[in-house]
A and B are shown apart, each in its own frame.
Chain A
Amino acid sequence: MGMLDAYAPIIDRIEALARARGLSFEPVYFRLTDSDELAEVASMGLPNRFIHWYWGGAYKELTTQQNKEVFSILELVLNTRPSHAFLRASNTYLQNVLVIAHVFGHVDFFANNHWYRKSNKNMLNEAELHARLIRHYEARFGKERIEKLLDALLTVATTVNAFERSPEARRRRLIYFLEEKAPLEDFERHLLQAVREEAEYFDLIQRTHIINEGWATFVEADLLREILDPREWITISVQLSSRPAPYTIGYSLFKAIKDGRGFDAALEVRTYYEDVMLIQEALSEDMIRRLDIFVYDPKEKKKSYDVQRVRDMLIEQKQFKGQPHVEVELGGNHRDLTLVHKDEERKLEPKRISLFLKAVHSLWRNPVRLRANGKVYTYDRRGFSAT
């Protein structure tokens, strides 16, 4: 705790500055921690989430990268009430001052962005409850059975959509369809709901990742201008515009808005925008070139910097987490489940299809089909087949 005291005055100062700018937020609890814990929370998403091998792979990658000093996480903030922010103890004082200002950008975004109105600010407690529920079921039904179930649930959980409110549209997304129609036992349904709720919490963060980082970077720059002496600030502002793409795209937009229409206009954009709107409006040809983002065709070994193509692809990635757009075909018979890949031109990796369908089948229990790659793939009692 002692070390955090050293930051107390600067935290107070930055907080006061942020409020003076018109920012508002829940109370923020800062915590000083090490790289290892940061990697842990980053890989699991929440500090007390249930333990699964999948986070273990991510954790391993992060710690390897940190050890090689390829990349390290400087900061982490949770969208909870109150907000929790992690500072890395091994950061320099100046780095942590940057981080603190950045954090106030994030918590302001969490509190004011329209899409976060319905977000679950109690996730820290709920994740804890989910973890307990899982341990309880493991004791009752066996670890292996629960792990298999969780594997399948996490596989289909990528189809959540935190923005979607229309029941009809939701039903086309696999996980909601299964929640409603699959012949699951009670404990299986409980776990599906637990996994779905957590996935929605992260989905919201992913769908606003670019704007959120952009806003936090913008706030960081703005507040630091007041705190740092001009020479320090110039060095920092150069660093800020050479951050990875998600930071830079949003940052450029907010800077442009502020320069044209003032800070209050920027506040408005942070209230109503999410990533798709931001990409449509802010991602310019110049920026695409500068960030060196392109659509790559491995067959032709060709890059395309066409603005519209890059935008479309980025938006599609946002909507489907970089995964193929697969929908449930509604209105078939009630026994079979048919999924359709909506972008026929892009081929799916065949090896994964059987594993994916097997996972879906373990939840649906009846025949599961996927129309993709010009074929119909089936998984039923007899196993996998393609026609």
Chain B
Amino acid sequence: MSLRIHRGRIAQHKHDQLLREYLKQNLNELIQQKELIIDGRVKTQITTLDLPTLRYGEEATVLAQGQGGAGQGPGRGAGRDGGDEEVQALGGLLGGDHHGRELRVELDFDEFVRLAQEVLIDEIQLPPLHTVGRAGEVETDEMPELDDLDRIGLRPDLNLEETMLHSLLRSVRERGVLDYDVDVRQDGWYFVEDPVQYRNHRSLEVYVLDISGSMRGEYLALVRKTIFVLWYYLERRYPTNLRRYIVFQDAAAEKTRDDFFCVESSGGTHISSGFEKAVELLEGATEYDKFLFLFSDGETSSGDFDVAKRRYEDALSRFDLICYGHVNPGSRGIGGFSEYVQETARKYPNATFANLVDVGTIGAAMVDFLTFLTQERSDGHAGRLRTDH
């Protein structure tokens, strides 16, 4: 049997590298799409990369074939969902080595997030992730027993079996092919020391988003970017994290991840409802570390202010960390409930406040957050203000 060189895959790899560069340059536009995830995927306006040959403009007449083509008669393809009959330009009729049909580039959401993280980490110049892990290193003369699995660890030793399995899962997920295509950065699993307490590796993350009023592109972009950067750190710290999503306006509701990234904004603001719902989700949660990330412009209805305060304090006693992101594109100042949180956060060690003005301020917010994670590691356990419940 001869070894085969997979030229197609090598060529695709080259293509995808160029595409990644292109997407990175256009990340800002992509991330602002109101409906970020459709059917689990991020759609773009970008077609596969093409050579810069000349083309007719969109208004030029074209030779086309109706969907009813290939002998089915014109009637067949029409009338799907009452929409226009799809007209497909007939480039493909020519055959040969030119592909006529343009496909919009779609990315698996996870792939999109990784791409975004790559850009953001670079842009914000955040500390690389190992500073987090190193802080908790335990001094010992004995060689640790590498009998636990993790995505990252101290003195890591690649676990081939698990890594191959993840490569397989990833290629099924991303390409729909049962095939090994190991990329250690994405698929690597390592043998690491058994942590003192395994549950220390589990977290519950609750994301709460204010969708009232002005949910414009920049507002969305800031929130999403912050979340992606948070994930970058959290994913490496907690191999088994559970994420739950809440959106609120007058009332709060739990959403799926996909819906969370496709919300329509409307209605008034009751920040209290966001906190209330978040605490509700803690019911029955066994995860060791519980995080709450809430994003709002702070303009809660006047009648809600006092209730929101109480709910916030209640949440503080239940979560290990609450990060409140004041979404403030264009830096119009900090007022309303955000102002209150900014003051209060100083008094509580498990409260952080971030004024999210632009990408740069995400960096500042992360530093607070990372400080918490670092200290927590050196304490050997999380949540310095843990109250048992």
Query: Which residues on A are within 8 Å of B, measured CB to CB?
Result: 36-37, 39-40, 43-45, 47-49, 51-64, 67-68, 151, 154-155, 158, 202-203, 205-206, 209-210, 213, 241-246, 248, 289-299, 303, 310, 313-314, 317-318, 321-324, 326, 341, 346-350, 352-353, 355-356, 358-359
Chain A residue with Cβ nearest B95: A209
Q: A297–B56 Cα gap in the complex (Å)?
A: 12
6 example contacts (A-B, Cβ-Cβ < 8 A) are as follows A37-B8, A44-B8, A60-B48, A289-B74, A296-B64, A314-B93
Note all chain A residues with C-beta closer than 8 A to B155: none
Query: Which residues on B are within 8 Å of A, measured CB to CB?
Result: 4, 6-18, 48-66, 68-74, 77, 87, 89-91, 93-101, 103, 175-177
Most chain A beta-carbon neighbours within 10 Å: one of B51, B74, B89: B51
Task: Choose one: B16, B48, B57, B63; the contact of A293 (CB below 8 Å).
Answer: B63
Smallest beta-carbon distance B98→chain A, Å: 6
Task: Choose one: A43, A58, A242, A323; the contact of B53 (CB below 8 Å).
Answer: A323
CB of A44 within 8 A of CB of B97, answer: yes
Q: A237–B292 Cα gap in the complex (Å)?
A: 65
Chain A interface helix/strand/loop/mixed: helix
CB of B91 within 8 A of CB of A298, answer: no
CB of A347 within 8 A of CB of B57, answer: yes
CB of B100 within 8 A of CB of A57, answer: no
Smallest beta-carbon distance B111→chain A, Å: 13
Q: A169–B91 Cα gap in the complex (Å)?
A: 25
Note all chain A residues with C-beta closer than 8 A to B12: 56-57, 59-60
Known A-B contacts: A68-B176, A248-B71, A294-B65. Give 17 more (CB < 8 A): A43-B8, A44-B7, A56-B11, A59-B12, A61-B103, A67-B176, A154-B51, A155-B52, A245-B65, A245-B70, A293-B69, A294-B66, A296-B87, A323-B54, A346-B57, A346-B61, A349-B54
CB of A205 within 8 A of CB of B61, answer: no
A296 with B176: in contact, given A43-B11, A56-B12 (CB under 8 Å)? no
CB of B70 within 8 A of CB of A291, answer: yes
Smallest beta-carbon distance B159→chain A, Å: 28
CB of B71 within 8 A of CB of A241, answer: yes
CB of B60 within 8 A of CB of A55, answer: no
Note all chain B residues with C-beta closer than 8 A to A67: 175-177
Smallest beta-carbon distance A303→chain B, Å: 8
Smallest beta-carbon distance A148→chain B, Å: 12
CB of B49 within 8 A of CB of A206, answer: no
CB of A56 within 8 A of CB of B56, answer: no
Note all chain A residues with C-beta closer than 8 A to B89: 296
Chain B residue with Cβ nearest A153: B51
CB of A155 within 8 A of CB of B51, answer: yes
CB of A348 within 8 A of CB of B11, answer: no
CB of A356 within 8 A of CB of B57, answer: no
CB of A296 within 8 A of CB of B61, answer: yes
Q: A311–B144 Cα gap in the complex (Å)?
A: 77
Note all chain B residues with C-beta closer than 8 A to A68: 176
Task: Choose one: A203, A246, A313, A352; the contact of B55 (CB below 8 Å).
Answer: A352
Task: Choose one: A40, A55, A298, A317; the contact of B94 (CB below 8 Å).
Answer: A317
What 7 pairs across the A-B complex have the smallest Cβ distances?
A56-B15, A40-B8, A355-B52, A56-B11, A242-B71, A45-B97, A57-B48
Smallest beta-carbon distance A375→chain B, Å: 13
Q: A223–B93 Cα gap in the complex (Å)?
A: 26
CB of B52 within 8 A of CB of A358, answer: yes
CB of A298 within 8 A of CB of B63, answer: no
Q: A313–B354 Cα gap in the complex (Å)?
A: 61
CB of A298 within 8 A of CB of B55, answer: no
CB of B64 within 8 A of CB of A294, answer: yes
Q: A201–B35 Cα gap in the complex (Å)?
A: 45
Chain B residue with Cβ nearest A55: B11
Smallest beta-carbon distance A332→chain B, Å: 20
Task: Choose one: B16, B66, B90; the contact of A56 (CB below 8 Å).
Answer: B16
CB of A313 within 8 A of CB of B63, answer: yes
CB of A57 within 8 A of CB of B50, answer: yes
Task: Choose one: A56, A206, A291, A348; the contact of B71 (CB below 8 Å).
Answer: A291
Q: A151–B176 Cα gap in the complex (Å)?
A: 30
CB of B94 within 8 A of CB of A151, answer: no
Smallest beta-carbon distance A91→chain B, Å: 19
Smallest beta-carbon distance B74→chain A, Å: 5
Q: A248–B93 Cα gap in the complex (Å)?
A: 11
Task: Choose one: B8, B56, B62; the contact of A55 (CB below 8 Å).
Answer: B8
Q: A53–B17 Cα gap in the complex (Å)?
A: 9
Note all chain A residues with C-beta closer than 8 A to B13: 56
Note all chain A residues with C-beta closer than 8 A to B93: 210, 244-246, 314, 317
CB of B74 within 8 A of CB of A298, answer: no
Chain A residue with Cβ nearest B76: A292
